[in-house]
A and B are shown apart, each in its own frame.
Chain A
Amino acid sequence: MLELRGVRHRYEGRVVLDLEQFSVPRTAAVAVVGHNGAGKSTLLRLLALLEAPTEGQVFLNGTAVPRRPAASLRRRVTLVEQRPVLFRGTVRENLEYGLRVREIGQAAANGIIADVVERLGLEPLLSRRRHELSDGEVQRVAVARALALRTDVLLLDEPASSADRAAAGALYRALAAERAARPFAVCIASHQLEDAYRWADDIRALADGRLSPVTPENLFRVELPVGDGVKSVRVGSIDIVVMTDRAGPAVVAVPPTDIFVSREPLPSSARNVFKGRVTGMAIEHRGAGVHVRADMGGVELVAAVTAEAARDLALTPGAPVVFSFKATAVQVF
């Protein structure tokens, strides 16, 4: 329903986003993951119709969006920024803002506000002003302010970045409840892979403004040495052996499904063998896979195993673990 085609977006001449195609289908839950500076926020601003791409086109329901879209068109999409701001006035006045813009009557607006306030537990904050709120509270109010608008597409940029675990859980539950009551598309930019796997139907990775051809884990920006064939690149405190003829700045990716997980180092042809400890486990939203995160001496790697294998290896947070993968498994782009 919301789509970017042939988009190449520049800031001061520098390409920050380069996407052949990116779409948020109707009622989909899309997660966009990537490092800081990968282009997630820029992507969301383009999807929110707040900026027009330098090159390329945005489509809403198959119709090309003009460079300066009318307010009526913008009202079908809304974005909550990573560090949202509230307007001057009370929390209630902030929640009413978008409803007033849409000329929704006071009685209907009160009903909608009561709904989102209950869902996000904002009742005690309603008469407070922005300087009386914590960052996490501001974020919750901003999400509520966006949810109240009942747009076709909701875009959230790191919506739980200022929230503790409990608040983040409440936020995702509120989103799920709202989507159960009224289907709409949601696209969330996040660097929290666990959260993304927990609730998204579709996870896409951005690296240096481009969609990564592989799953979003284990993406590293590196400087490749000159030379052909097998070379070693430094990633934090570890050296990863890759097979490439490329040189200079690049992104390397290790697909989690290509990582062999064991408790002890095993004799094999893998050129990359790292010992570490499990730091977390995440069960995939769909299927029986488990994502095992492990700290390999300052660098975190993620491997995908079946739930059965995780059980057999007794993988729990803190357990010692060995990740092995071949140099040819490392993708360079």
Chain B
Amino acid sequence: MDFLAEGFRRAWGLLVAGDSEVYGIALLTLRVAVVATVISCAAGLPLGYFLATRRFWGRRAALTVVNTALAFPTVVVGLLLYGLLSRQGPLGSLGWLYTWQAIVVGDVVLALPIAAALSAAAIQGVDPRIRRTAETLGAGAWRTAWTVAREARFALAAVITAAFGQVVAEIGAAMIVGGNIRGSTRTLTTAVALYTAQGDFGLALALGLVLLLLALVVNIALQMLQGRGHA
């Protein structure tokens, strides 16, 4: 257990000293996580609303696909994206392989089903009379959706938290399409894996602590937002 205690001491030292590598990796992780969460929620929440409220042919199949995508292995997503983004791939001309944008794409692919499936469940949990009432009072499609979403705000905040959690903790796709390049695509999770493999437990632990801290701060922020709501 000594190595753990030593690791914590090292971690504390690096954090207090403001180690540039640690904070650089943390900032990149935060940037990737925020961009990917915003994109996946911006697309996933309306998709979830659509799946929850519209009756159309193939709706059940669409819900099954989205729910199945929740269990998509991250390394498989990484592998598929690698094929698409590599020089010979159909998206090779973008030149995104081994860039932070590639990690964002991988994270969006993984977080989008979470945002869509969980928000569909959240919207389905709202009393259907709310939507009918908004419509009969004359609301258009967007205002109706907003009114329903307001009623499900706690559940939708949890959806955003879950999507952020998926993105910030993801490693498989980030490793494959990001390449774990120092100063460029090294995120907290890929760095923890690397430094652990290299036996640098102190640095790995420091990065792990930052990762936990990030998750904690985001969760507290979302809880504070929820707490401001009234019935």
Taking a contact as CB atoms under 8 Å apart, the answer to whether B129 and A74 are in contact is no
Q: Does A85 lie at the interface of the complex (its beta carbon under 8 Å from any beta carbon of B)? A: yes
Q: How far is the CB of A270 from chain B (nearest CB, A)?
A: 47
Taking a contact as CB atoms under 8 Å apart, the answer to whether B139 and A81 are in contact is no
Residues of B near A40 (CB, < 8 A) are none
Q: How far is the CB of A137 from chain B (nearest CB, A)?
A: 15
Q: Does B1 lie at the interface of the complex (its beta carbon under 8 Å from any beta carbon of A)? A: no
Q: Does A244 lie at the interface of the complex (its beta carbon under 8 Å from any beta carbon of B)? A: no
Q: Which of B127, B129, B133, B141 has the most CB of A within 10 A?
A: B133
Interface residues on B, range: 20 to 34
Which residues of B come within 8 Å of A, CB atoms?
127, 129-130, 132-141, 143, 147, 150-151, 229-231
A145 to B138, CA, bound (A): 12
Q: How far is the CB of B56 from chain A (nearest CB, A)?
A: 12
A48 to B135, CA, bound (A): 9
Residues of B near A149 (CB, < 8 A) are 137-138
A83 to B151, CA, bound (A): 17
Residues of B near A234 (CB, < 8 A) are none
- Tell me whether A98 and B151 are in contact in the complex, defined as CB-CB below 8 angstroms, given that A81-B132, A85-B127 are known contacts: no
Residues of A near B147 (CB, < 8 A) are 87
Q: List 18 additional A-B contacts (Cβ < 8 Å) besides A85-B127, A85-B133, A101-B139.
A: A71-B139, A71-B140, A71-B141, A74-B135, A81-B129, A87-B133, A87-B151, A88-B151, A98-B137, A98-B138, A101-B138, A102-B138, A129-B230, A130-B231, A131-B231, A145-B137, A149-B137, A149-B138
A89 to B147, CA, bound (A): 11
Which residues of A come within 8 Å of B, CB atoms?
45, 48, 50, 71, 74-75, 77-79, 81, 83-85, 87-89, 97-98, 101-102, 129-131, 145-146, 149
A146 to B147, CA, bound (A): 17
Residues of A near B230 (CB, < 8 A) are 88-89, 129
Residues of A near B150 (CB, < 8 A) are 87-88
Taking a contact as CB atoms under 8 Å apart, the answer to whether A101 and B127 are in contact is no
Of chain A, the residue at the smallest CB distance from B139 is A101
A102 to B136, CA, bound (A): 12
Of chain A, the residue at the smallest CB distance from B153 is A88
A305 to B201, CA, bound (A): 96
A149 to B143, CA, bound (A): 17
Residues of A near B143 (CB, < 8 A) are 101
A292 to B138, CA, bound (A): 42
Of chain A, the residue at the smallest CB distance from B143 is A101
Q: How far is the CB of B65 from chain A (nearest CB, A)?
A: 24
A-B contacts, 15 of them at CB < 8 A, read: A71-B140, A71-B141, A79-B132, A79-B136, A81-B129, A84-B129, A85-B127, A85-B133, A87-B133, A89-B230, A101-B137, A101-B139, A101-B140, A102-B138, A149-B137
Out of B134, B138, B151, name the residue touching A75 (CB < 8 Å). B138
Residues of A near B151 (CB, < 8 A) are 87-88
A115 to B130, CA, bound (A): 25
Taking a contact as CB atoms under 8 Å apart, the answer to whether A97 and B129 are in contact is no
Q: How far is the CB of A86 from chain B (nearest CB, A)?
A: 8
Of chain B, the residue at the smallest CB distance from A48 is B136
Taking a contact as CB atoms under 8 Å apart, the answer to whether A83 and B129 are in contact is yes
A50 to B134, CA, bound (A): 10
Residues of B near A87 (CB, < 8 A) are 130, 133-134, 147, 150-151
Taking a contact as CB atoms under 8 Å apart, the answer to whether A78 and B132 are in contact is no
- Tell me whether A78 and B130 are in contact in the complex, defined as CB-CB below 8 angstroms, given that A87-B150, A87-B151, A129-B230 are known contacts: no
A97 to B230, CA, bound (A): 17
